[in-house]
């Protein structure tokens, strides 16, 4: 059987113009246990401490400033470090992160997207298809996120990027010699082919053993099996494995945080006076805001606008809608009508803060933007 990827043409034709293939990040924190130990050691910045494994030859992961000044290095064993300075103390890495660090991590991730799903204490999925910073290139978003986590929280992370959760996770788990790895639909088949089946998420030991008795050791071999034959050997798990072997995963990134509002800030390079010029300049930001709503299956009937001009003029405008909507054109028309009195009085528009509120359908299923029929 050929390992060619399923055609996307029909899905592409049915997709709304503002909806693109998903951009999903799988972020795994590598030094969380060490950072948690640092956070919980109140004297870390003043006294000589090392974070190390238990045992005489325990690996040293981190040194406090005072420990470095005492001549201790990470190349030493725990015993050598403690012999180098009579007052040095050691603490072991702590697996459970403290609440304050968890909150700071989640808050930072939410600066980039509304859709953050916690997979474990040290792993997260992020849907950055329509991110808060309107960055069109997924790899650039991953770079900025990686740099900010390192700079602000001293966290070392590995980030996998792909068009769905499966490929993003496998990209991250197989990432070597760099902090960011990406897989796209065109390279998915080749990427998956040689990966061991043990990397497939939620693959139970019994199912894995059954596959191995069939001589299936890697995902490429699994992709060569047709669905009826796979069902005969592994039962209910067959459909999911059949799709995973082809890089297909429709599962959405499910945020635990319910949105009360979504917003965007827009600053124009020069003051705008003309209604049509403002409409043209607002089209793309409003399209992105509406797309963010659809990604969470939200519709709004209240827009709140903060408008500022280069003439030291500012005003807040509430624009109630007559019906709930997630249409970018409906939102844009309402915005332009709300700004008309400001323009009519001769004020220019230099900066806008647009916020949508009063949602309905909060519990509706999240819109799937990456559905491929097999």
What's the whole-number mean pLDDT along residues 270-294?
Answer: 89
Q: Give the pLDDT confidence score for residue 225 in this predicted structure.
A: 92
Contact between 48 and 110 (Cβ < 8 Å): no
In a domain, 350, yes or no: yes
Distance CA 134, CA 263 (A): 12
| pLDDT tens-place string over residues 84-143 | 887 888 899 998 888 889 999 999 998 899 899 999 999 999 999 988 877 888 999 999
Look at residue 16 and tell me whether its pLDDT is greater than 70: no
Residue 237 lies in a domain: no
- Residue 20 — pLDDT band, cuts 50, 70, 90? low
Residue 189 lies in a domain: no
Show which of 74, 91, 108 is a domain's final residue: 91
The pair of three-digit structure tokens given for residue 148, joined into one six-digit string: 């900010």
The pLDDT of residue 292: 84
Which among 31, 30, 51, 32 has a CA at the least distance from the CA of 41?
51
* pLDDT band at residue 339 using 50, 70 and 90 as cut-offs: very high
From 301, 333, 243, 284, select the one nearest 134 (Cα to Cα). Answer: 284
**Half-sphere exposure in the Cβ direction for 141 (13 Å, CA):** 28
CB 186 within 8 A of CB 212: no
Read off the CATH number of the domain in which 54 is found: 3.40.1170.60
pLDDT digits (tens, 9 = 90+) for 255-281: 877 777 888 888 898 889 899 999 999
Residues 6+ apart with CB under 8 A from 282: 266, 332, 335, 336, 352
Last residue of a domain, one of 69, 91, 113: 91
Domain boundary among 24, 56, 91: 91
Structural domain contains residue 276: yes
Q: Is residue 333 part of a domain?
A: yes
Contacts 24+ apart (CB under 8 A), 138-144: 138/23, 138/25, 138/182, 139/180, 139/182, 141/23, 141/25, 141/112, 142/25, 142/180, 142/182, 143/180, 144/112
- Let me know if residue 75 belongs to a domain: yes
The pLDDT assigned to 24 comes to 96
| Counted domains in the chain | 2
Residue 60 within a domain:
yes
Domain range for residue 70?
Answer: 33-91
Chain length of the chain: 374
Is the pLDDT at 151 greater than 90? The verdict is yes
Residue spans of beta strands (DSSP E) within the chain: 24-29, 49-52, 60-63, 89-91, 116-120, 123-127, 157-162, 180-182, 262-272, 299-308, 314-325, 349-360
d(CA 292, CA 102): 25
Mean pLDDT of the chain: 85
Whole-number Å distance between alpha carbons of 308 and 267: 9
In a domain, 130, yes or no: no
């Amino acid at each position: 059987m050929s390992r060619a990827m399923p055609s996307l043409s029909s899905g592409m034709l049915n997709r709304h113009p503002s909806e693109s293939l998903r951009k999903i990040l799988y972020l795994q924190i590598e030094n969380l246990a060490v950072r948690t130990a640092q956070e919980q050691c109140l004297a870390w910045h003043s006294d000589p401490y090392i974070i190390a494994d238990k045992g005489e030859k325990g690996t040293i992961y981190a040194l406090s400033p005072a420990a470095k000044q005492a001549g201790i290095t990470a190349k030493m064993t725990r015993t050598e470090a403690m012999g180098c300075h009579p007052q040095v103390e050691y603490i072991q890495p702590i697996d459970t992160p403290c609440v304050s660090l968890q909150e700071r991590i989640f808050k930072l991730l939410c600066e980039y997207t509304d859709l953050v799903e916690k997979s474990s204490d040290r792993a997260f999925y992020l849907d950055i298809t329509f991110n808060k910073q309107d960055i069109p290139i997924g790899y650039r978003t991953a770079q900025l996120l990686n740099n900010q986590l390192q700079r602000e929280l001293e966290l070392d992370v590995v980030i996998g990027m792909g068009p769905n959760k499966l490929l993003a996770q496998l990209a991250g788990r197989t990432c070597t010699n760099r902090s960011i790895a990406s897989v796209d639909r065109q390279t998915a088949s080749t990427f998956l082919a040689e990966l061991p089946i043990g990397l497939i998420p939620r693959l139970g030991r019994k199912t894995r053993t059954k596959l191995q008795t069939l001589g299936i050791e890697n995902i490429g071999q699994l992709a060569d099996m047709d669905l009826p034959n796979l069902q005969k050997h592994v039962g209910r798990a067959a459909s999911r494995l059949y799709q995973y072997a082809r890089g297909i995963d429709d599962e959405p990134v499910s945020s635990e945080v319910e949105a009360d509002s979504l917003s965007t800030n827009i600053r124009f390079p020069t003051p705008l006076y003309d209604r049509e010029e403002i409409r043209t300049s607002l089209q793309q930001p409003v399209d992105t805001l509406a797309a963010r709503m659809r990604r969470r299956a939200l519709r709004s009937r209240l827009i709140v606008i903060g408008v500022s001009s280069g003439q030291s003029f500012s005003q807040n405008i509430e624009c109630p809608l007559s019906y709930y909507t997630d249409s970018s054109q409906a939102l844009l028309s309402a915005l332009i009508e709300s700004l008309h009195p400001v323009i009519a009085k001769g004020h220019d528009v230099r900066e806008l803060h647009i916020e949508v509120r009063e949602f309905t359908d909060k519990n509706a299923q999240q819109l799937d933007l990456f559905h491929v029929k097999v």
